[in-house]
Structure 1
Amino acid sequence: MANLERTFIAIKPDGVQRGLVGEIIKRFEQKGFRLVAMKFLRASEEHLKQHYIDLKDRPFFPGLVKYMNSGPVVAMVWEGLNVVKTGRVMLGETNPADSKPGTIRGDFCIQVGRTRAEFGTRPPPRAGLRSRESGAPSAGGWERAERGRGAAARPAIGPPPRRIGPLYGMWLVTFLLLLDSLHKARPEDVGTSLYFVNDSLQHVTFSSSVGVVVPCPAAGSPSAALRWYLATGDDIYDVPHIRHVHANGTLQLFPFSPSAFNSFIHDNDYFCTAENAAGKIRSPNIRIKAVFREPYTVRVEDQRSMRGNVAVFKCLIPSSVQEYVSVVSWEKDTVSITPENRFFITSHGGLYISDVQKEDALSTY
């Protein structure tokens, strides 16, 4: 059963320094999760000691606090259906060598050497340091701290801005995503604000056989009340098995048959608002349009031209799919035409034959 959850995610100093903040946010947004709160800050040592209090007896604790205090972090709260479990899947396997492409670790980790760090037992080899000979990152160490309410896991991706003493190597040149319980993201840490998480969203085209989920591009901190409207200002209402607005502000249009098409729902302009103590903001209009996956045929009409003149052929595409179909090639007697000499294919897909000859009339196109 799907549960609406929230989870705290922190992008630690190395991830911020490497410029990966936008990519991580993009991945969670594309999964349909909503960014509830975000703050860019440099945490104090006292705050960090409290945050990692369940690790205070570990030998690496002083080094961890010092590392976390070495630069700014990005603290975020994400909301969505089963976001905790899905977030862990998005991270990938603990060992980056086992992580699949498309996961955070699979895409951002450097190559792991033969020796893996054994967490809390002995100092591992220095991780991910830049090679003097090649200038490229060397093998990195890994560790996983099992915690009461979550897990910390770090794919190594590159060197930090400066060296931070003996940190057992495992905290150097790493990118850390920390999944933890919600209560560690305190409302007073993120302030009160309204903002757009994707104000460039203007067009959404989807297949009628698949449906679509559209997160509200506006959000706030603390949590804002999210509402959807038609561009006319009319409230959005649920239509069973056709349209539904989730509690987290996500608009969903379900798959439907061609006979159930309703332009008022499936081809219209929508917008979303976010409202909290900071005020109210409105997203730009978003055109949401459904298209049908159905068989179609294209055809070419006969053309007349005087010898030595120009003949122009157009590929006639049904209007229902014209917007989504492009002409990529032409054939002459079932042989692909190479644009050269007298034959020319325009950017709009038309075929021009210059200096028409008698033999041109003996072929089919």
Structure 2
Amino acid sequence: MKRLLRRLPRMLLWLLVFAACLEIASFGVITVLNIVLYDNAREGTKAVYDPYALFLQANGIWPTMGIATSGSIENDRVVWFFGGSTMRASTAPFDKSIPSFVASELNAAPGPVRYNCFNFGINSFNSILETKYLQKQLIEFPVRPNLVVFYDGANDANYFALYKTPYGHEGMDRVQGLLESYFKTPVGILKPLCAAWYASFTRELLAKAAYALTPLDPDARILRDYIELTVKRYDHVDRMAAAYGASFLLFLQPVYWAETCGDLDPAVRLDEERTILGRRAFPHVRQNFMIVYAALEQALADRPYFVSLRNALCSRTAPAYTADGVHQTDAGREGVARVIVPLLRQRLERVSSKAEELCRK
């Protein structure tokens, strides 16, 4: 016993050294993955706390190119765009985002109607955080929308597959751990230590490894719960937009892994096969993603606000996706804009007709 007591400090010291080495190694793996996938040592751009949406981008609302106003309220149309990093496109010049391409296309038509598009895309946002952000903007933003657009699918599928809960979102475990660990565990009284564990690279790497190696059951009850709650969330957004006199459109975004393009240009196919990473590695990642993506598509198919863009880019003549198969190139975002512009114009005309009808009454 005495010998054990004498060795205990050294054992504790080596345990701390092992934990530090493990954290450093995990930091290295996570950083390399971020550089390979996002061309940045950090995942995403600098964020700041927001009491409504949990966090927002530090550099504010991403500007939109090609917007215009008519000078008269009756001829102005306002579109709010929400989504994740594929909508924000903050790694590209702001004139290469989907809202910028849309605004330029809409305003290229002869007047008198002019279009103003706001890019409220935030890196890593999914439908949960977008709904909160929409609430914030409806309360605080001075310019009211005629049309609210959500561009979703990738982040929703990713965070459900990662956290296995209907409420998954970016940073969920870190925030939940910080709030709940104080009373949840015996060591919770050591709040800084618990916060460090939930924010650790080791924990993040273990979670990503489990995500990559664990298949998702397509018949699991938790998946059915997730789909049911997500559809309810979008129904709520539809009603909330209508309460403010706006219409709502939800686009299921195109991703490389979900496409079923039989007639894709062979040169484009070959180029993307060379560029996109992980085509053979970690098959469960793609399988899990597709299970959630397909379930969302099926559950939302009959909603009047829903449009699937699964194969919207099949006619492309240039690569549309970056290395992760989710984020789009400039050509990809421009292609998405060309596809959705007629749908946006049609929905805006419908909103305008309803407004005129109400005015006549």
Whether these two folds match at TM > 0.5 is: no
Which TM-score band (shorter chain)? Answer: under 0.3
Query: TM (normalized to structure 2)?
Result: 0.25
Q: Which has the larger radius of gyration?
A: 1
Q: Which has the higher helix share?
A: 2
Query: TM (normalized to structure 1)?
Result: 0.25
Q: Which has the higher contact order (CA 8 A, sep 6+)?
A: 2
